[in-house]
Amino acid sequence: MPTAAAADALVEVRDLTTMLSGKAVFAGLSLDIPRGKVTAIMGPSGTGKTTLLKHITGQMRPDRGVLRVDGQNVPALGREALYALRERIGYLFQNSALLTDYDVFENVAFPLRQHARLPEVLLRNIVLTKLQAVGLRGAARLMPSELSGGMARRVALARAIVFDPMLILYDEPFVGLDPIALNQVLKLIRTLNRTLGITSILVAHEFAAVRQVADLVHLIANGQCVASGTPEQLARGESDWTRQFFGGDADGPVPFQYPAGDYATALGFTGAAA
């Protein structure tokens, strides 16, 4: 259930319903993302966390429901308005999604070159500032294929913040990183939020990392928001959902078994099953 008052929510999701390949990914999902905070979205794999981020940025449209970002109902926006909104949103893809044709500098410069007619000197200064912020100014002339996973993710982060966005979405930013790289990315997420006040949505499975940075956690399962609260509240595990998710039990509200017919019948014990 949404805990923050809707008034200071940057993103409001109401009764979101989405069917994908005949399956209800969201069945009346409602939640709020408060302004200026780091909000973590957690939940089992395949529960629709990436899909939710795609809804927020208008890459996918829900079947029903309202999804407001800074007061604008995203599913109803036309192309121009949507693109204008996206210029104020940074999105960190799980696999970084750097443009392989361009070097690190040009990757970070890409949004600027596309949307702002800046003198080359100014553009250079902005790009180098952002690269310095992620600690990779020295890597400006490397190609994406020459970067490690952690470096690529930091470059993608520099690119995502090049327009000083109001909102950043991180899709599983810690996956595949060694502990040092993980802490570097974690530190950047915290710095960007604390110093620039950028509202952040963090999809992640690493609860140890999440509790260091998140102000609020939404737990999504079965197409709904099943628990919300601070990391400490959720870790205490007051519902079956939080107990299973944060306790890591194999069985619980999220079944271990993929839905199947009767086991005894499948094994041929029709008599025994009856």
Partner 1 sequence: MSADMKAGAPRGGMLVDGLAQVGACGLFLLGMLGAIPRSLRHLREISRQIWFVGAMSLVIIMISGLFVGMVLALQLYYTLSIFGGTAALGTVVALSLYRELGPVITALLFAGRAGTAMTAEIGLMRATDQLAAMEMMAVDPIAFVATPRFLAGVIAMPLLANVFSMLGLLGAHLVGVTWLGVDNGTFWSNMTSNVDVWKDIVNGTWKALAFGVVVSLIAVFQGYTAPPTSEGVAYATTRTVVFASIVVLALDFVMTAFLM
Ligand X SMILES: Nc1ncnc2c1ncn2[C@@H]1O[C@H](COP(=O)(O)OP(=O)(O)O)[C@@H](O)[C@H]1O
- Minimal CA–CA distance to 48: which of 74, 18, 89, 93? 18
**For 238, which DSSP code?**
-
Which of 230, 141, 154, 232 is CA-nearest to residue 192?
Answer: 154
Nearer to ligand X, 47 or 193 (CB): 47
C-alpha 50: how far from its chain's center?
Answer: 7
Q: Rounded to the nearest whole angstrom, what is the least distance from the CB of residue 85 to partner 1 in the complex?
A: 8
Nearer to ligand X (CB atom), residue 104 or residue 204: 204
CA distance 60 to 44: 21
Is 92 an interacting residue with respect to ligand X (CB under 6 A)? no
Among 91, 174, 241, 245, binds partner 1 (CB under 8 A): 91
> Which residue, 69 or 234, has its beta carbon nearer to partner 1?
69
List the one residue from 61, 64, 115, 187 that touches partner 1 (CB under 8 A). Answer: 115
To ligand X, the closest distance from the beta carbon of 51 in angstroms equals 3
- 3-state secondary structure at position 84: helix
* Contact characters 38-77, ligand X, x per CB under 6 A: -------xxxxxxx--------------------------
Amino acid, res. 41: I
* CB nearer to partner 1: pick between 168 and 219: 168
Q: Does 84 bind partner 1 (CB under 8 A)?
A: yes
Out of Mg ion, partner 1, ligand X, none, which partner does residue 2 contact, by CB within 5 to 8 A per kind?
none
Q: Which is nearer to Mg ion, 53 or 155 (CB)?
A: 53
- Footprint of partner 1 on residues 143-202 (CB under 8 A)? 159
Burial class (CB in 10 A: 0-12, 13-18, 19+), 136: buried
Binding partner 1 (rule: CB under 8 A), the pick from 73, 95, 148, 270 is 95
Q: What is the dihedral of CA 56, 173, 211, 238, to 10 degrees?
A: 60
Residue type, 14: R
Q: Return the residue of 83, 122, 125, 164 that touches partner 1, per CB under 8 A.
A: 83
Report what 46 binds from ligand X, partner 1, Mg ion, none; CB cut-off 5-8 Å by kind.
ligand X
- CB nearer to ligand X: give 49 or 218: 49
Contact set for Mg ion, span 50-69 (CB under 5 A): 50
CB of residue 63 to partner 1, shortest distance in Å: 13
Torsion of CA 91, 94, 99, 104, to 10 degrees: 80
d(CA 187, CA 7): 29
Q: Where are the alpha helices (DSSP H) in the chain?
A: 49-56, 79-86, 104-115, 120-133, 149-160, 179-196, 207-213, 231-236, 240-247, 263-266, 270-273
100 binds partner 1 (CB under 8 A): yes
Q: Which of 45, 114, 145, 257 contacts partner 1 by CB under 8 A? A: 114
How many residues touch partner 1 (CB under 8 A)? 22
- Nearest-5° Cα angle at 89, 60 to 20: 15
Distance CA 202, CA 145 (A): 26
Which residues bind to ligand X, rule: CB under 6 A? 20-21, 25, 45-51
